[in-house]
A and B are shown apart, each in its own frame.
Chain A
Amino acid sequence: MSETGTNVLEVRHLCKYFPIKSGLFGRVVGYVHAVEDVSFTLKRGTTMGLVGESGCGKTTVGKTLLNLTPKTDGEVIFNGNVHLDRLSGRELRSFRPKIQIIFQDPYSSLSPRLPVGEIIGEAVREHHLVPDDQLDGYVSKIMKSCGLFDYQKDRYPHEFSGGQRQRICIARAIALNPDFIVCDEPVSALDVSIQAQIINLLEDLQKEYNLTYLFISHDLSVVQHISDTVGVMYLGNMVEYAGKEDIFARPLHPYTQALFSAIPVPDPTVKMNRIILEGSIPSPANPPSGCKFHTRCRNCKGVCSQKAPRTMDMGGGHTVACHIYDPESGYAQEK
């Protein structure tokens, strides 16, 4: 596998539509546009944060990248030339350990019948990543770094707390020594101290092995801490993408602005100054015309409901899809 390219991942015009079936015979009555025309590149050794409203397609992006669910359209290229959907079964099997995912829902992604030591060590053994006689020690080491204990090895997933299960998923992913990990809400169930421990661990691994992460989280302070770049999704589209410093200092898209204004502060004396989003959330099965955000945007004008905005580069790789920033959209001329 080539380690030369600086881009671990290139995503071009990724789309994923889920059919909506109805009735007894499963007639397809429409499609959920879960991901629509998403493009980005990820440099080796960096972390991209992916944020956005619940149901906007973050998990679907993660899963289609790894081909865990087939994409509808677009291209996903690893290491400059690897297309997962073009690999043979054998090639795919040997490539798999390099790309891992920490699932959002630990409960359903852990086999209830295997003890935890086996869950973490199984794939390591299968791919001969460490000699068999060292496997046990290796698993212990990984567990320890994730805040789990040796004596928990023989226990089954149901005997753990929610946060402990989440750490089992993290341990399973990093045990395979991957190049790229999709972390889907990896610390959402952890108390802040263990959360900090895990984030520090992810950062240490990144420094040591030049790991790359796609970090999905709704916790913006965590995203701000760990990411190099941040992508904001709304209803299947990537509406804004920029370097971390840039996007937090200068959020451009009205949705990003609303999102950032709602961050709760751990201080009961602070009153929040939230931008409350008006209107109900549209469904990805039946998205609004033009700019998908226009039904809730406080800056909406006539053009917004007629024409989908182009993605504009505002300099320094800061892109945004909104008519306000497009001089040719006619937005500025409108009353």
Chain B
Amino acid sequence: MAKKDSNFITARESRRISKENLKITRKLDKRLSRKHVPESEFLTQMKDPGNVVEFDDLHTYFFTDVGTVKAVDGVSFNVPVGKTIGIVGESGCGKSVTSLSLMQLVQRPNGQVVSGEMRLNLGDKAYDVAKMPIEAMQKIRGNVVSMIFQEPMTSLNPVFRIGFQLDEVIKLHNPDMNDEEVKQRSVEAIKMVGIPDAEGIYERYPHELSGGMRQRIVIAMALVCNPRLIIADEPTTALDVTIQAQILELLRKLKGEINASIMLITHDLGVIAEMADYVVVMYAGRVVEKGLADEVFLDPRHPYTIGLMESKPVINKKVDRLYSIPGSVPNPVNMPDYCYFRDRCEKCVAKCQGKYPPEMHVSSTHIVSCWRYENATDKR
């Protein structure tokens, strides 16, 4: 097989990389697997106690045989208490890996958080998740932070009945409930996400449900334990608009009741517009624009965000061909040192030939990483 591609590497090189990877991942993995680590090691201070999470220059890499995939390459943003953050970005830009990092569920040993902080506010104290060993993280997962996964079948076990799987989650978080109460709670949870015949569904297997029903079971699982932070990764992709509205309402209600925060990852700009207080736009592992929802929607600044807004087919607006941003993302193994969007950007300025653009403030809340706005920077 002849490969002319510049991305091609020899078997020898691949072996070398593989060996090096092993060294790095072993070391990182060992740190994570330690037992009885004193809390002081991962105690930290929130920059702003009004936030439930602060991502600070997070780097999460995958060490593969063809090189290091920098899936998340310096991501910073905050999730304020009781607010909803919408995260959008090109498929493969690192949205899921960012949230998996916070859950410490990135696929090990290849995937590792290599640097940065993830400060998680627990009310009376704060932890840096990046420094936490697995053991400590397990106590927090589900209780404080819970995640609705993008693909429902990743979190459902095909050989167990739906009811059994829901019961397990509820038991784990409510050890003093008896079996009858647990079942009651499970059935309620199925009803809560709008699935008819909850008792019947309780007895069924995952493959006997439709795609959208499975997705809602996963949502129910994430919500039964009243988490402080809900990470919802494409929670409504398999749902029709009416049920989507119902699920969004449910999330909103929960948010109101327990003052939970939501990290909402979705490519559906309509959903973001409806739900989000803040919007974060990611591109190739980095945040390129963030701000209040109104700012990003009504006044998008980054050329990628502008392109994204233009690509959306709008109901009752006829076009022959949908707009799609030309070109494609750079290979995540060899990221350039200039703006990652440059090769696709139609609005380049002279500065774009230089370094990756730093954050520019369009307003005190609206931040863009693009050389075009260099002079727009406010004095903060």
Contacts and interface: CB of A to CB of B under 8 A. Distances in A.
Q: Do A and B bind each other?
A: yes
Interface of A: 18, 20, 22, 51-55, 59-60, 104-108, 136, 147, 149-151, 154-155, 158-165, 167, 184-185, 188-197, 199-200, 203, 218-222, 224-225, 248, 258-259, 262-270, 272, 274, 276-277, 280-283, 285-286
A47 to B, nearest CB: 14
Contact of A277 (B88, B89, B242, B331): B242
Contact of B90 (A54, A193, A222, A274): A193
Interface string B46-63: 000000000000000010
Interface stretch (B35-43, B133-141, B146-154): B146-154
Contacts of A265: 270, 273, 315
Nearest to B191: A280
Contacts of A22: 203
A228 to B, nearest CB: 14
Interface stretch (B118-126, B255-263, B322-330, B370-378): B322-330
Most chain B beta-carbon contacts within 10 A, residue among A52, A164, A193: A193
B243 A189 contact: no
Nearest to B212: A54
B312 interface: yes
Given A192-B312, A263-B315, A283 B197 contact: yes
A261 to B, nearest CB: 9
Give the residue among B152, B195, B274 with the most A Cβ atoms within 10 A: B274
B297 A264 contact: no
Contact of A248 (B209, B234, B316): B316
A107 B211 contact: no
Contact of A190 (B91, B95, B197): B91
Interface string B187-223: 0000000111100100110001111111110000000
B308 to A, nearest CB: 6
Contact of B153 (A107, A159, A184, A269): A107
A190 B96 CA distance: 13
Contacts of B196: 55, 280-283
Interface residues of B, number: 79
Given A161-B92, A191-B91, A259-B241, A264 B268 contact: yes
B5 interface: yes
Interface of B: 1, 3, 5, 7-8, 62, 64, 66, 88-92, 95-97, 107, 150-154, 194-197, 200, 203-204, 208-216, 233-234, 237-245, 267-274, 293-294, 297-298, 307-309, 311-316, 319, 321-325, 328, 331, 333
Contacts of B5: 150-151
Contact of B237 (A164, A189, A266, A272): A189
Contact of A108 (B153, B274, B333): B153
Contacts of A269: 294, 298
Given A192-B311, A193-B308, A199-B322, 20 more contacts: A51-B240, A104-B238, A105-B153, A105-B214, A107-B151, A147-B91, A147-B328, A151-B5, A151-B8, A151-B333, A161-B92, A161-B97, A189-B267, A195-B322, A200-B322, A203-B321, A248-B316, A259-B241, A263-B270, A266-B270
Nearest to A147: B328
A104 B324 contact: no
A188 B324 contact: no
13 contacts: A161-B96, A162-B151, A163-B267, A185-B211, A185-B238, A190-B267, A194-B90, A195-B267, A224-B316, A259-B242, A262-B244, A280-B196, A283-B197
- Most-contacted residue by chain B among A104, A149, A163, A200 (CB, 10 A): A163
Contact of A162 (B150, B307, B314): B150
Contacts of A52: 240
Nearest to B277: A268
B241 A264 contact: yes
B91 to A, nearest CB: 3
Of A191, A196, A248, A265, most buried by chain B (CB within 10 Å of CB) is A191
A268 to B, nearest CB: 5
Q: Could you say which of B3, B95, B315 has the most chain A C-beta atoms within 10 Å of its C-beta?
A: B315
